[in-house]
Structure formats: C-alpha cells, structure tokens
Structure 1
Amino acid sequence: MKRTLGLTLAATLLSTAAHAQEKTVTVASWGGSYQEAQSKALFEPAAANTGIVVKQETYGGMSDVRLQVSSGAVSLDIVASGSGSAARAAAEGLLEKLDYSVIDVSNFYEGLYTDYCVGGDVFSTVYAWNTQTYGDDGPQSWADFFDVEKFPGKRAYRNRVAGALEPAMMALGVAPEDVYKELDSEEGIERALDKIRELKPNIDVFWSSGAQQAQLMKDGEVDMTTGWNGRFDNAAKDGAQVKYSFNQALLDYDCFAIPLGAPNKDVAMEFLAEISKPEYQDDLPTYITYGPTNKAAYETGVITAEMAAGLPSSPENAAMQLPVSLEWYAKWETIADEMYQEMLTE
C-alpha cells in the first residue's frame, strides 16, 4: 500500500513538475536600463505571482522576429517593440492577434493598444543637452537643436528613420499638427532628409540604442542628442550632466507583441494579461521615467504627484508633444527608412 502511495505521489510530483515546465515564456527586450526596469517592475514580480518561468533575452527588434517567422524557427514568445515597428510587423503578418478577453485593457488610455500589440509604457523622444556645455539654457525647440550657430557643438542622431524625420520637419517651421501631412509623400520625406543633411557635418554619432544615448551623455562625447526621456533621467542619476525638454517632443509608446508561431502563445497571453495590471505598471516609473499605459496605475498611490509631473503621459507634458502617427509608420516606414539609410551613406 505504501509503495502504491509512493508511486502515486511520485507521479503527481512529476506531473506537477511537467506542468510547471510548460508554464514558460521567453521575453525579448532591448537591454540596458530599460530592460532592467521592465525586469524589476514587470517580469520578475509577475513571474513570482503566477509561477510562470520567464527567460529573458535581448534582441535587435522586429528584424529578428521577421527572420524567425520566415525561417519557421520561432523561439521568442513575447517581444518589446516600438509602436511603429509593431504596426509595420502586424501589417507584414509577423504577429499573433492578441486576445483581449484575456488581456484587460478597459482602463488603458485610448490608442495605446492595437489588435497585435498591447502598450507597456509611454515615452517621449526628446532633445537632450550637456549642461556643462550649455548650462540649464539648452535648446527649447527642434529649430534650436538644428541651429549650430546659436548652439554650436557635436550632435548625435538616430541611425533609423523612427523619430528622425518629425524633428527635421518641425525644425523647418512646420506646425506639429501638420508634420505627418507634410511627410505623406516621398517629396515630403526628402524635404526632411535635406534638413538632416544640413546638420550631418555636426552629427558625430548616429546612435543605435537607448543604452548608447545614455552613454554618449555620460561620457560627454556629444553636446546634444535625440533620444528617449527615461534613458536620460537614468543617465542623470548616474552622474551625467544632462537635461531635456518635453516641448515638441514625440509622444509614443512601447508595447508587447507575440511573434507568429510563438511556442508558448497561450502562456504568453496570460503573462501579458498579468503585466498589464496597474499593480505592476505603477512600479515602472520607480526604475525609469516612462508613464503607464493603464490609467488605473495612477490611482494606486505608488505614483506620487511629483513623480507624475516628470512622466511623458502626464496631461501637462503630453499637451506639449506631437503624438506619433502609427498610420504614417504603417504606410511609409519601409520606404522612408530605405531613403534614410541612403542618406546616411552619402
């Protein structure tokens, strides 16, 4: 009898272990202080609360997803993505449709989720400056950023088209609300590229990652750069002499998507549902100054009024910014990026 009970108990334990093994997701993000913040605020607590085993990787963006899907060897279950890249990937058929009967977005800000990507945080693409070079009186518009006579010094700019053309348009004097109308043709894109060409002799670095933006400012390698607000706040905490402005910044969001053919699709959906809850999202600004996409995160008491004032999605800061157009990126990103890469190699 004891032997039978022992065998039954062993079988149960094995079954439980096998079940636990099944509850695994591989999450890919961009590394640096951003992924560290995601890990501390979202991934690790959600894993502890659900029992889902989370494997983290860093990746190079949707180009990696495209390669995995096209080769039929998908190893990633969840990927962090910029909203524009996700829109383009969805249009290419690279992503699974999300199940919003599982993921609750009833308290999300409008426009911060799509059929294929659920918002994880709100951020801003800003112009940042070295306070050792300019003091507190750095640039206050994109026209200032492009003005090398008023603000002489070395610049850094993005090596991809996302977030690169809109600043050039505003530097040309185009009103924020008209930027995407002006960019809705190859001629308009070329006009923005011409403005960047003018600045190119003063651009020492075309950055490729958020970690690089932060390092450039920490090292004082450039006097001014474009980049993501949270990276600069973390760099300042690490001693970088850096400030930025939300005026004319690009208001955008990062999201989470599931690659087509993900090996653990159902568990991934369950995990996305968990990290979309306010009790996780309210912790993210503690580690990096990106705003939550779930409005209820502002009501838990974790995000103080002082903290909210420094977040991109606070009403005061959001009012100064240009919301990024996903429609424009879905339509133009591939063509615009080809034109942009050609400009870089000239």
Structure 2
Amino acid sequence: MSSKSKTTSLDRRRFLTAAGATLAAPYLFIPRALAAQQVIVRTPGGAYDDIRREVIYDPFEKQTGIKVVPVAATTAKLLAMFKSGNVELDVIDTGDDPLVQLHKLGALLDIPYNEFKFTDPADLKPEFKRDYLVGNFIYASVLGYSMKAFAASSEPKSWQDFWDLEKFPGDRMLADIASGAANLEFALIADGVPMDKLYPLDIDRGFASMSRVRPAIKKFWDTGALSTQMLADGEVDLGSVWHTRIANIIQEGAPLAIQWNQHMMLVQAYSIFKDARNRDAAVKFVDFCVSPDVQAEFCKRWNAGPVNRKAFDKLPKEMLARVPGSPELADKGFVLDAEWWADNRQAVSQKWSTWILGG
C-alpha cells in the first residue's frame, strides 16, 4: 500500500473514532422521489423535519419543481457512502464538525456562491460561511439555571460564577466528551482566559480548571435531552445546556432561565457532496434555505439564530434578545472553532479518558 493510501485509510479511521459511531451498512435505503427532479438531503429527522417540511421543503418544491427527500443518516453512514464511491445523498445538513472531517477527506464540493439566485452571499455572516459549507442556523451552549435555586439578581452571571462553589452552591452539570466536545472553553474562561483568546485551547489548563469544579458536578451529560431533563427535574441547579433545548422547556413553563453572558455559538450547516447526483438541485436548495425570508421563518419556529444578517430584520423584536448571533447578543459570546476540535478531538478524548477516572 502506498504512503498516500495509508494516510487516507488512517484519516478515515480517525474520522469514525471522532464521530463516536461504528461503521454501519454502507448504503442507505433512499426512497426515489416521483418528481422529475429531486434533491436528497441528510437531516436529523423528527420534529426538525416536521417544521422544515412546512416552511422549507414544500415551499421549495412549489417554487422550483424540485422534490426534497429528507433522509436520516449518521456520520458513519456519510463516510461509508464516500468510502464506497456510492454517494446517494446530495446535501448534508448537520453540525459543522462532521463537515470539517469530510472536507479534509476531499468529499465535499466547493459551494458555488456565484450561482445563488435567492440569496446574496454578501449577506451571510462570514464566520459561518466557508468554501465547503454554509451555515443553516446558529445555536448556542449557554449557562442554564433554576429560578427556584437562584432568586432574581442573585443568579450566576458568568462562568467564573459557575466555578465559585461557595458563592453559588448547588449541583451542577457539564458536557461529556461523548456529547461532541467537553466544555474546555468554559473552563478556560472561568480560569481567566478572554473569549477572543481561547484558541488554540490550552488542554492541560482547561482540565486543571475542570478539576476545581468537578466536586460539584453531579453528572456530565452526553445528550441534549438529558441535560434539559436534569434541569427540569431539579436534579441539578445549573449547568451548560444547548439554548434551543432549554428555550423549549422554558416556553412550556419550566422555572428555568438562560444566562447569555459568555455563551458559545455553534452552527448547523450545509455542505454538498462533490459527487452529488443532483448537483444543480442541491445548489438551488442550499441557496433557497439561506435566503432571508426562509431563514427568518424557520428560526422563529426553531428558536435559533439565522446566518443571513437580513433575516434578523424579519424577526420579532422580542426574539432578538434570545437568539444567538443577533445584534443584541453579538458581544456576549464567541464561536466554537470546529476546525480546532477536528484536529484535536483525539488528544482531548485521550486526556478525558484518564481524567474522568480520576487520573
């Protein structure tokens, strides 16, 4: 085997390890659309697709004649298709970390922004626009807390407060590495690192800071559902949580609140497979999805932040104070560096494996 082949093989194995998934069957069962044209889109499925069917998929088909076929697929299956040379998906709608990994393997098309008709690429927030991906929506990891545990004006206002076990007592939670990434950024902020100086992360310093708060951590959560359930049930009083999750249960009446100071912005994004069978339809779909009206309508339903700056003008004013990326919250957060995590996740995972056992 050539040196190049060995490197490619190793990179693919690392991708699977980073994704935390075992390689499943290399092919997906994808229903063939009845329309003359179609675009096959990888999505998370569930309630997400229910909303998108109403505000994106059906309007797109009505306007273009192109049928949208959503398919749920793991990152392992995405890699399996690329590895087998049988790419059955056109568009990938997922977090940016798997897209960084696929890009490094040469699987993704450079997005032809010059072909966009629905969207002016200049309106897209530059931090969520790259050659091989464009943001779908912005979400955030925030400090969530119980309003029963902390009265108004006495709530934690920073990650330094979260780390202060005497002034702010109570059971806590943070993200497990199995959630995608440990909360090293918050640990470093608590240790005095400014938000704009976080990357490259000082891994050892981050874990040393995590050790100081660990006695109060009741559990490291590995899913968004678990984190919100722990807060809702009163199992913990405060912790890191994805804002879309906690926002939903707050709307349902849960006595919880979000501290937006020092939040971390993440992005759900689109990429197009380089060997997409429906390449032109894929470009039209992505273009349509990031247009101002579509962005605004979806983000209103999903409690998320748009990547198209003009979409903020179309959101209700009261919503601007509770979606990441908005002008009101712009100076209160930072953007997770997915490329740093893609390059360093293995090193962090190895350190985590020892640290979590008390080593």
The normalised TM-score by structure 1 is 0.81
**One-letter amino acid of the structure 2 residue matched with residue 339 of structure 1:** K
What is the alpha-carbon distance in structure 1 between the residues aligned to residue 350 and residue 59 of structure 2? 40
The question of whether the paired residues in 2 share the 8 Å contact of 1:88 and 1:329 is answered with: no
What is the alpha-carbon distance in structure 2 between the residues aligned to residue 213 and residue 305 of structure 1? 29
* Cα 1:198–1:28 shift into 2, 3 Å: farther
**1:69 counterpart = 2:85:** no
Q: Pick from 187, 191, 195: which aligns with 1:168? A: 187
What is the alpha-carbon distance in structure 2 between the residues aligned to residue 338 and residue 95 of structure 1? 29
2:290 — aligned with what? 276
1:138 — aligned with what? 155
Q: Pick from 79, 97, 100: which aligns with 2:92? A: 79
What is the alpha-carbon distance in structure 1 between the residues aligned to residue 151 and residue 73 of structure 2? 36
The question of whether the paired residues in 1 share the 8 Å contact of 2:33 and 2:69 is answered with: no
Deviation at 1:175, TM superposition (A): 1.8
Q: Pick from 193, 197, 221: which aligns with 1:178? A: 197
Q: Give secondary structure in 1 for the equivalent of 2:260.
A: strand
1:10 — aligned with what? none
2:317 — aligned with what? 305
Deviation at 1:217, TM superposition (A): 2.9
Alignment of 1:230-249 (within 5 A): 230-249=244-263
What is the alpha-carbon distance in structure 1 between the residues aligned to residue 72 and residue 61 of structure 2? 18
* Cα 1:205–1:57 shift into 2, 3 Å: farther
Q: Give secondary structure in 2 for the equivalent of 1:157.
A: strand
**One-letter amino acid of the structure 1 residue matched with residue 169 of structure 2:** P
Structure 1 stretch displaced more, 38-47 or 116-125: 38-47
* Cα 1:48–1:59 shift into 2, 3 Å: same
What is the alpha-carbon distance in structure 2 between the residues aligned to residue 24 and residue 205 of structure 1? 44
1:148 — aligned with what? 165
* Cα 1:48–1:315 shift into 2, 3 Å: same
The question of whether the paired residues in 2 share the 8 Å contact of 1:95 and 1:259 is answered with: yes
Structure 1 stretch displaced more, 273-282 or 79-88: 79-88
**1:96 counterpart = 2:115:** no
In angstroms, what is the RMSD of aligned CA positions?
A: 2.8
Q: Give secondary structure in 2 for the equivalent of 1:328.
A: helix
Alignment of 1:311-326 (within 5 A): 311-326=323-338
Alignment of 1:1-346 (within 5 A): 21-31=35-45, 34=48, 36-60=50-74, 62-103=75-116, 104=119, 105-136=121-152, 137-160=154-177, 162=181, 164-181=183-200, 183=201, 188-299=202-313, 302-344=314-356
Deviation at 1:326, TM superposition (A): 4.3
What is the alpha-carbon distance in structure 2 between the residues aligned to residue 197 and residue 57 of structure 1? 41
Q: Give secondary structure in 2 for the equivalent of 1:281.
A: helix
Structure 1 stretch displaced more, 69-78 or 248-257: 69-78
Q: Give secondary structure in 1 for the equivalent of 2:285.
A: helix
For residues 57-104 of structure 1, the C-alpha deviation after alignment (integer angstroms, 9 at most, x for no partner) is: 4444x4442233224444433222333443333123232322212334
**One-letter amino acid of the structure 2 residue matched with residue 102 of structure 1:** E
* Cα 1:306–1:21 shift into 2, 3 Å: same
Deviation at 1:260, TM superposition (A): 4.7
The question of whether the paired residues in 2 share the 8 Å contact of 1:65 and 1:259 is answered with: no
Structure 1 stretch displaced more, 103-112 or 288-297: 103-112
What is the alpha-carbon distance in structure 2 between the residues aligned to residue 265 and residue 44 of structure 1? 19
**One-letter amino acid of the structure 1 residue matched with residue 185 of structure 2:** E
Structure 1 stretch displaced more, 233-242 or 130-139: 130-139
The question of whether the paired residues in 2 share the 8 Å contact of 1:32 and 1:210 is answered with: no
The question of whether the paired residues in 1 share the 8 Å contact of 2:312 and 2:326 is answered with: no
* Cα 1:66–1:126 shift into 2, 3 Å: same
* Cα 1:19–1:85 shift into 2, 3 Å: closer
**One-letter amino acid of the structure 1 residue matched with residue 83 of structure 2:** S
Q: Give secondary structure in 1 for the equivalent of 2:122.
A: coil
**One-letter amino acid of the structure 2 residue matched with residue 175 of structure 1:** P
The question of whether the paired residues in 2 share the 8 Å contact of 1:217 and 1:241 is answered with: no
* Cα 1:27–1:47 shift into 2, 3 Å: same
Deviation at 1:313, TM superposition (A): 1.5
* % identical aligned pairs: 28
For residues 29-80 of structure 1, the C-alpha deviation after alignment (integer angstroms, 9 at most, x for no partner) is: 33565555544443343234333322334444x4442233224444433222
What is the alpha-carbon distance in structure 2 between the residues aligned to residue 26 and residue 34 of structure 1? 16
Deviation at 1:170, TM superposition (A): 0.6
Q: Give secondary structure in 2 for the equivalent of 1:245.
A: strand
Give every structure 1 segment of 4 or more consecutive aligned residues whose post-TM-superposition deviation is greater than 6 Å: none
The question of whether the paired residues in 2 share the 8 Å contact of 1:233 and 1:288 is answered with: no
What is the alpha-carbon distance in structure 2 between the residues aligned to residue 240 and residue 31 of structure 1? 25
Q: Which runs of 5+ in 1 are unaligned?
A: 1-17
For residues 181-237 of structure 1, the C-alpha deviation after alignment (integer angstroms, 9 at most, x for no partner) is: 4x2xxxx21221232234344333333333333333333333222122222111111
| Larger RCO (alpha carbons 8 Å, 6+ apart) | 1
